[in-house]
Structure 1
Amino acid sequence: MQNYVFIIDVNKQPLNPIRPKRARTLLMRGKAAVIRMYPFTLILKTVVENPVLRPVELKIDPGSKVTGLALVQDGEVVWGANLEHRGAEIKSDLESRSAVRKSRRNRKTRYRKARFLNRKRTQMWLPPSLMHRVLTIETWVKRLCRYVPVTGIVMELVRFDTQALQNPEITGQEYQQGKLFGYEVKEYLLAKWGRNCVYCGKQDVPLQVEHIHPKSNGGSDRISNLTITCVRCNQKKGSKSIEDFLKKKPDLLRQIKVVRLAPLKDAAAVNSTRWKLYQSLKKISGLNIATSTGGRTKYNRIKNGFDKDHWIDACCVGESGLGVILKTKQAMMIKSTGVGSGRQMTRTNKFGFPCAKPKQRYQHGWKTGDIARFIDGTTTGRIVVQSASRLEIRINKQRIGGQLNKFSKLHSMDGYNYAF
């Protein structure tokens, strides 16, 4: 089952998404044309007067590395996608640029006054690697609203279901220990420890939350003291200390001690950007924005019997995520790549010295990263501009090149890679 196809009329008014079979019929009869390849969108050659539009919910499951997107219409998931961010790459590029600039200034400037004292940041400032997540999601929300009649947005925002609506008088520890208690903790531990038993390595078996330092000996419930084990290993370890339990496996013991103290970068990234994303979407969309908890998302997914995936989690966000029907199982994979380094005049080696000629700019309209089809009709991929008259498609180690007239453009480079 494929994603539904987006369709707009000649006035670019978004209409109800249609099935792929219906889209092929419109193309064969000449009633529509392709206006965009990713996501696949058709434009009708006529105006649709007073269309009957069914409400569509855009559901978002924000993540530090991958964000899930889903469109739900009348309880049916008609489109899904995984949006992969490049925050780590941005951080690495900024550190590299800083090192190159520092090296250049040391070579060319004997003394330079410090500038950090006269720089001011806004109140809700975020580092570029974190702000990138907000801007990327914002871009795709605007894009989907342009092609689909979206009437509301539901996003995962808060961490716990406090049950305040069910029992306003609830207090203390019971305030966070209800029907959804433990879902966020276990889901994070599954991702952190690779979804297998840390002691025996078994996969696809029921896993339990286990205290590394036994609770009976004073161990806490902090996330750094929890891990994931199978039932057999959990019972076998019992109240033993991890040093006694793994005294015959020193390498595994050393590895567990390293992983348990790993910083919560992913959780910190999501917590830092979630309110910024909420405020941003509230400004740009003009739509009703509802929020939900991560515990509710996992609860809905388990009750629906769905497999774990980011776009599947997006389908299950909110109260309406319980009982949804998947009309598609082929989610689109969107990877953020950036649009190149337009301000960089030339490439540098690992020491920061120029190692290539200045970049050439051509007037033929092609850019490195455009998706094109070769004249043989079977080779499709991203092109690399070789010169003012030659292009090349590179697939692994295979290179297929030719003159400009041997290529037909399918999709202009927009800073993303697409796959299914």
Structure 2
Amino acid sequence: MAVFVLDKRKKPLMPCSEKRARLLLERGRARVHRMVPFTIRLVDRLQEHSVLQPLRLKVAPGSKTTGISLVREKESVDADTGEVIRKLVVVMLLELQHRGHAIRDALTSRRSHRRFRRNQLRYRPARFDNRTKPAGWLAPSLQHRVDTTMACVSRLQRWAPVVALSTLLHRFDTQALQNPEISGAEYQHGTLFGYEVREYLLEKWGRKCVYCDAEHTPLTIDHIHPKSKGGSDRVSNLTLACVPCNQHKNNQDVREYLARDPKRLARIEAQRKAPLRDAAAVNATRWALFRRLKDTGLDVEVGTGGRTKWNRKRIHVPKAHCLDAACVGHVDGMENWQQPVLSIKATGRGSYQRTRLTKHGFPRGYLMRSKSVFGFQTGDRVKAVVTTGKKAGTYLGRVAIRASGSFNIQTVPRHFKWVA
């Protein structure tokens, strides 16, 4: 994993390898600036006296996890065709885990408690007419995804010489951008033909056969209502099936094929009409994130999910959030992508709620007003050395404070965690 390097005025330099960072520290030319992600600060170098290579920060926004990739572009000219070949050298891979679902559940619980207390204790009509939302307003669970992603982008800009950005803007059609005059059958059967629809169906149906639940097998697109009987090519009429199930179903309607399995039929009918919630969350935040990235003043490249998958398949890169980010936009090749992934977990900054509630929404206990006890705060990363007793040992993890002074430590896995 690459090590971030700062000059003596804390301006970003080119990242280096772990071996070089170790040598700089041993020779006294650098100091440890930050532990996670590991960052060193040189004591004898200025940014003006250094040669910097342009780095591009790529972001693949997701509902639960956002992939981030820091890459170095290496361009060359093909001697035969004269075309510019754009290869990427991966510097660092990161994955940001959001807590939007936790925020949504907390707000839903608070809303239900308030409604119960308002109706049980005293009646008052709901007040909605006097509440206005500003332009561009997003729900807190969605705004959280934009804010945490931009926080990571701004931090990486402080630690690395980033000169350009790339993001996944799903509505953009890369084919139309490259050739605005393309239309008709040529457009429908272009380079990215089928990739957008296939990626959507894989996410919607859980990447498995809907008729036998087979996973890790080649899947084909199946028409729920066959085209030979008037079915359309709309995504609401498409599903995924393995090759044996697709051949066995043939041109039967799904109601006829699953007449002996009404539970599975009901699940398919409900799922085909339900919206893809994760995709809806990403679609609701994509423009807000794009505008925030444009506000940085850097050049922003955009791509689609279909183009990203096409790049990944073409250069034989496995499926991962961080590698999806590296494949965003125009990519001809990729190097050094087989490296550890730095996991970033959004944990929040505590809660304003100071009252524990029963299942009916009434108080059952009160929390202390201070967020710190003996200098510690919930979420701090600590190392505890217990010398005696049943819990003897050394523990490293996040601490949860108590007013009594008896704290709880949640240990972390062996790989590093960067808590945002």
TM-score range for the pair, normalised by the shorter chain length: 0.7 to 0.9
Structure 2, unpaired ranges of 5+: 74-87, 387-392
What's the counterpart of residue 252 of structure 1? 264
Q: Partners in 2 of 1:289 and 1:166 — Cα distance? A: 16
Cα shift at 1:308: 0.8
Q: 1:334 — aligned with what?
A: 344
The answer to whether residue 93 in structure 2 is matched with residue 80 in structure 1 is: yes
Question: Which residue matches 2:400?
Answer: 384
Q: Deviations over 1:39-88 (max 9, x none)?
A: 22222334435211111100011122221100001321111112122222
Residues 1:206 and 2:218 are matched in the alignment: yes
TM-score (norm 2): 0.86
How far apart, in 1, do the equivalents of 2:41 and 2:230 lie?
65
Distance in 1, Cα, partners of 2:335 & 2:137: 40
Which of residues 366, 369, 377 in structure 1 aligns to 2:376? 366
Cα deviation code 1:158-194 (max 9, x no counterpart): 4353633554433346545421122121112122222
- Please give the per-residue CA displacement for 1:115-170, whole angstroms capped at 9, x wherever unaligned: 42222212211211211111111111111101111000011114353633554433
Please give the alpha-carbon distance, in whole angstroms, between the structure 2 residues aligned to 1:173 and 1:127: 40
Corresponding residue for residue 11 of structure 2: 13
Q: Pick from 150, 154, 160 the counterpart of residue 138 of structure 1.
A: 150
Q: Distance in 2 between matches of 1:365 and 1:322?
A: 52
Structure-2 separation of matches of 1:392 and 1:123 = 43
Between 1:293-302 and 1:226-235, the stretch displaced more is 226-235
Deviates more, 1:200-209 or 1:27-36: 27-36
Aligned partner of 1:355 in structure 2 is 364
In 2, Cα distance between the equivalents of 1:374 and 1:25?
Answer: 30
Bigger CA drift: 156-165 or 227-236? 156-165
Select the residue among 110, 116, 123 that pairs with 1:97. 110
**Which residue of structure 2 lines up, in the alignment, with residue 195 of structure 1?**
207
The Cα shift of 1:301 comes to: 0.2
Residue identity opposite 1:337 in structure 2: T
Distance 1:69 1:150, change over 3 A: same
Partner residue in 2 for 1:312: 323
State the TM-score, normalizing by the size of structure 1: 0.86
5 Å-filtered alignment, 1:135-174, equals 135-159=147-171, 161=173, 163-164=175-176, 167-172=179-184, 174=186
Give the AA of the match of 1:67. Answer: T
Is residue 381–residue 394 contact of structure 1 (8 Å, CA) maintained in 2?
A: yes
Counterparts of 1:92 and 1:210, CA distance in 2: 35
Q: Does structure 2 conserve the Cα–Cα contact (< 8 Å) formed by 1:193 and 1:227?
A: yes
Structure 2: distance between partners of 1:92 and 1:166: 42
Q: Is residue 261 of structure 2 the alignment partner of residue 286 of structure 1?
A: no
> CA offsets per residue over residues 86-117 of structure 1, 9 Å max, x none?
222212111211222334444665546x5422
Partner Cα distance (1:201, 1:330) in 2? 32
| Residue identity matched to 1:138 | M
Indicate if the aligned counterparts of 2:204 and 2:276 stay in contact, CA closer than 8 A: no
Counterpart AA for 2:94: A
Aligned pairs, how many? 395
**1:278-337 per-position Cα deviation (integer Å, ceiling 9, x unaligned):** 111111x22111111222111100011011111110000010x33011344321222222
2:61 aligned with 1:62, yes or no?
Answer: yes
Cα separation, 2, equivalents of 1:91 and 1:173 = 44
Aligned to 1:226: 238
Alpha-carbon distance in structure 1 between the residues aligned to 2:100 and 2:145: 7
Question: For residues 237-282 of structure 1, what are the alpha-carbon distances to aligned partners after superposition, in whole Å with 9 as ceiling and x for unaligned?
Answer: 1111112223343333233223222222222222221111111111
Q: Is the 8 A contact 1:4 1:328 kept in 2?
A: no
Superposition RMSD in Å:
2.6
What corresponds to 1:324 in structure 2?
Answer: 334
Query: Which segments of 5 or more consecutive residues in structure 1 lack a partner in the other structure?
Result: 397-409
Work out the CA distance in 1 between the residues paired with 2:28 and 2:369: 40
Residue type matched to 1:7 in 2?
A: V
Structure 2 letter corresponding to 1:315? A
CA distance in 1, matches of 2:174, 2:24: 50
Label 1:360 to 1:255 Cα distance change in 2 as closer, same or farther (>3 A).
same
2:93–2:322 CA contact under 8 A, matched in 1: yes
SS at match of 2:382: strand
